[in-house]
Amino acid sequence: MSNKWFSVASVTALGSLVAIASAAGCSSTSDTVTQTDPTQAEQDAGKRPPQREAGATPPETPDEPEGCKDANATFTPAQTKPTAAVSSTACTDKVINALAEACLADPGAKACADARSSLANKKCAECIFTESADEEEWKVFIIDPPSFNQRGCMDHITGVKDCGRDLADLIFIPDGCLHAYCGTCSGAELDDCHQQVLRGECNEYLMSTACANAWQQSNTQLISTCFGDQTISDPAEQQKDLFVKMAKVACMGSAEPKDGG
């Protein structure tokens, strides 16, 4: 049976991601110093500045065309909690699959509670499940409200603290800044819109250099592990596949995090 009551975030158009990561990587906190040609500076020093007639209106800088960007959109990052640490020994394939079978149809049901409290499953369940989104740390799956901690999955794979949060704030659908402003765009317009808002409304959400580098090194693994497999047509099977992959990363240590600095 497919779950209709919790959603899995996807990512914005893959064609834009390399450019996005590159833009983010350039957003370091260091200042750029521009050196002036001393000869040209000496020549310019004796020149009078251009004169404007009294009362003349200075020329206006043309506004950048809005294109398909939603001019009425706003963006507020989703509230999240820190990701729990990886455990390489908490689970086995067998237990992860048993918990997926028992819990994904209805994480709040007695069948799930019984499976999580079973002696054979308890250690693994404690690694996978967070009871409530109000808890101080999030694990693989939050029971209330039911949701996958995809940000945490990306933290584990990149090895960069809060990289999953930074990525999500920028590229998640429907929770990311790019989607908020460019969600109705398609084709070439989409790339144009992304580049426009990366320089404007979404600029403050650019990834850190460490996160951008880790994204570029790990993007194939991030997409294949932390997001639903679109080749699986049955939503319930797609959710199970995602649950198993994310649980293995967090609770079997199956990912090899990159050194993000």
**DSSP-assigned letters across all residues of the chain:** ----SS---EES-GGGHHHHHHHHHT--SSPP-PPP-HHHHHHHHTSPPPP--TTPPPPPPPPPP-TT--TT----PPP--PBPPP-SSS--HHHHHHHHHHHSS-TTSHHHHHHHHSTTTHHHHHHHEEEETTSSSB-SEEEETTEE-HHHHHHHHH--TTHHHHHHHHHEETTSHHHHHHTT--HHHHHHHHHHHHHTTTGGGPPPHHHHHHHHHHHHHHHHHHS--TT--SHHHHHHHHHHHHHHHHHS--S------
Q: What is the pLDDT along the chain (261 residues), one digit of tens a residue?
A: 344 445 578 876 544 555 565 565 555 433 323 333 434 434 444 444 444 454 555 555 445 556 899 999 999 999 999 999 999 999 999 999 999 999 999 999 999 999 999 999 999 999 999 999 999 999 999 999 999 999 999 999 999 999 999 999 998 988 999 999 999 998 889 889 998 999 999 999 988 889 988 988 888 899 899 998 989 999 999 999 999 999 999 999 876 544 443
Specify if 31 maps to a domain: no
Range of the domain at 113: 10-19+66-72+82-251
Domain count, the chain: 1
pLDDT at 60: 54
Specify if 28 maps to a domain: no
Specify if 40 maps to a domain: no
pLDDT at 117: 97
Specify if 167 maps to a domain: yes
pLDDT at 44: 42
